[in-house]
Amino acid sequence: MSGMPPRTSNEEYARIVRQGYRNLLRSLPKPLSDEDRRMIRDALDLAAEAHRHQVRMTGEPYITHPIAVAQICAEEIGLGPTAVACALLHDVVEDTSVSLEMIRERFGERVALIVEGLTKLDEEKDDKYAGERQAINLTHVMRAMLVDVRVILIKMADRLHNLRTIKGMPPEKQQRIVIETDSIYTPLAHRLGLYNIKTEFQDIYLKIIHPEKYREIADKLAQTKRSREQYIRDFIRPIEEALHKQLKGIKFRILGRPKSIYSIWNKMCQKEVAFEDIYDLFAIRIILDVPFEEERMACWMVYAIVTSIYQNIPARQKDWITTPKANGYESLHTSVIGPGGKYVEVQIRTERMNDIAERGYAAHWKYKGLKLLNRNENTFEKWFDRIREVLENNTASAKEIMVAFEDEILEEEVHVLTPKGESRFLKEGATALDFAFDIHSDIGCTCRIIRVNGAVVPFNYVLKNGDQVSVETDKNARPTPDWLKYVTTSKAKNRIRAALKKERFKMAADGLEILERKVQRLFNCSAEPYVEALAKWYGFDQRLEFLVAIALQQVDLLRLKEIRLENGKIEPIVQLNASPDAQKPQEPTTTVKPNAAPTDIIINDEPGHLYSYVLASCCTPLPGDAIFAYITSRENVAKIHRESCPNATYLKRNYSYRIFPARWGNVAQFHFVAAIAVKGIDQGPGTIQRLSDHISSMGINIRSFSIAGDRGYFSGRIELIVASNAQLQQVTKEIRKLKFVTSVERIE
């Protein structure tokens, strides 16, 4: 939006509004009641008045945007009059002086509820917080979606029109919007069954992020359009003739279409081939008009006819009629070898299935009255239940909820069965232990044995479509930190973390009791006033970690004899007649057992092992470096990056909702690999030996050493085993003292 004055006259503005109203009425299903007509007219009048002096970045009157969004809702998604009215009003509360109370009084509670769900929260101007706003706003919208699903469908239409008119925005903003769309709205459109919208999202993403690739594929498709259309006509002709003969009066239609530009590009990347080597550029869809009861038999009959004409490729057959996708998608897919040896994908479905495939949830409600047998008629209701469960996790931040949506709810899914034959959908890549937690948290936490198709499997067994899974429990079983490595779903990870945290607090209580007894015996006072001070004296940043370490017998409590507790303070005891060195204050240390699991990194104020973290290879952080955690989208683990990492700016700008604060904990007993680049004057034989000996004399192990000389100079890369950034800095400082060394730098 822009603050520029209106560029249209009153007459032209009235014409735009009038034409928009007529187009909307034509797009809505008939008959339309007088009440619905009045509601749409009132909504359009209010929006037109409220947005009268606002102009889009494209230079058009702003009212063209809500009209276009309403048109998409009616024509492309298939929503009704109420949703159209809400689409017209979706920006008035956020961008104009119209209040939500005015909407409620004029249009009623339901319209006000949907408009409220579509209204963004207040936005900060500083782009630094864009990711945080994105997380909060998406959480806000998803909560509203549970009240009325039309909120997210209108939101999709809003995003689609913004992308269609994205050229009016600065290039940086274009990239930010399409990246956000690709990570959130595209998979959400897929999950809601809005395939046409998903495809358009993907094509626009490719056009903005990889414009050269987009133009290259678009040009080649344009050059081959005539020959491709002729090929599809030749391919369809014998199928059409056979269907007319054998279907005995059943109505059908056949559509031919090329693959989308994005899907072609994606296949080129995955298979690492050129455009000319992509064989399955063609796809046809056969749509049957038959009663619900005859759908399955009719689809398989058409399949038999097609495969009797063209050679079938069994490995590429997918039956989503017997087992629909989690978003309600039903269709029978196969690929055959057409004339000239070209692969052609054939999709077989009914008008009902096509309606759901094109319009997703917006069409799904029309068929809720049909008995879908084992066709999983409650797929959307189950998905909403999972969203509700994520949102009801009150301890989760907006960032954590955003990650849960992206990693679990928006992922492709695997379909498995319980022992009683009940369908369960989990994210693709889910494990047997994920299944146990999906059934119920208590079953997951007390899981002892899991069987898949009757055979005992390990907890990290990756589930496949059609697996039948059963779980045996033991009331004495408890989760261990290793379980976090065996699960992929956010639900399972959160439940395991909660159980481990509960166990940790219990251990801390035991540690406090041990400390209390020791302090009472030595000092005849309560330990409670001194716990924080004692934790710092022993080298712990947090009270909880200190008390847990005591419970694990990782703290030498005999060292309490070295101090005096008075008035809430700790004072070291200075022994008389002791040597000067003995009178120096001792550095606080901890005694850690070799097999202990120390809190080596703290993520989001929690022990790092609760997030299954790894150190990022792009910047190899060391203790002492300023760090942050990035929660990955696929592996769902925390990658620890240095604040100075070359990738830090990109990650924080585009995925700040995945960024969590992190700091180093107790890592004294760990060692890390760090690389340095050394340059200097080649003094002939012995130069390398002198350099390596100098490093070894400091007690530093060399992991690898590569060096090359040229014209009297040398340059080398050395990987060292160090304990911290401070130790690495000391090593580089000592190496610089060698007269033949000209520079030493840490390699990023």
**Looking at the annotation, which residues are catalytic?**
94-95
The full 3-state SS of 193-254, as one line of letters, equals CCHHHHHHHHHHHHHHHCHHHHHHHHHHHHHCHHHHHHHHHHHHHHHHHHHHHHCCCCEEEE
β-bridge mates for residue 172, sequence order: none
**Secondary-structure breakdown of the chain: helix, strand, coil percentages, each rounded to the nearest 5:** 50, 20, 30
User: What is the C-alpha to C-alpha distance for residues 596 and 598, in angstroms, rounded to an integer?
Assistant: 6
Query: Within 13 A of 77's CA, how many CA atoms are on the CB side?
Result: 33
**CA nearest neighbour of 399 among 638, 209, 614:** 638
**Helix count (H) and strand count (E) of the chain?**
29, 23
Q: How far apart are CA 534 and CA 542, in angstroms?
A: 10
- List the structure tokens of 691: 């350099």
Residue 609 CA to residue 504 CA, distance in Å, equals 13
Q: How many CA atoms lie within 13 A of 267 on its CB side?
A: 14
Say if residues 718 and 685 touch (Cβ distance below 8 Å). Answer: no
- DSSP per residue over 326-364, as a string? TT----EEEEEE-GGG-EEEEEEEEHHHHHHHHHTHHHH
What's the token pair of residue 650? 């990109």
Is the distance from CB of 26 to CB of 74 less than 8 angstroms? Answer: no
Q: Is 364 left (phi over 0), alpha (psi -120 to 50) or beta?
A: alpha
φ, ψ (nearest 5 deg) of residue 457: -125, 160
Q: What tokens were used for 380?
A: 């959307």
Question: What is the length of the chain?
Answer: 748
Residue type, 368: K
Q: Which residue type occupies 396? A: A
Which tokens is 671 given? Answer: 């060692």
Q: 6 vs 68, 85, 523, 663, 718, CA distance in Å?
A: 19, 24, 80, 52, 65
Helix ranges restricted to H, 377-454: 379-391, 398-404, 432-439, 441-445
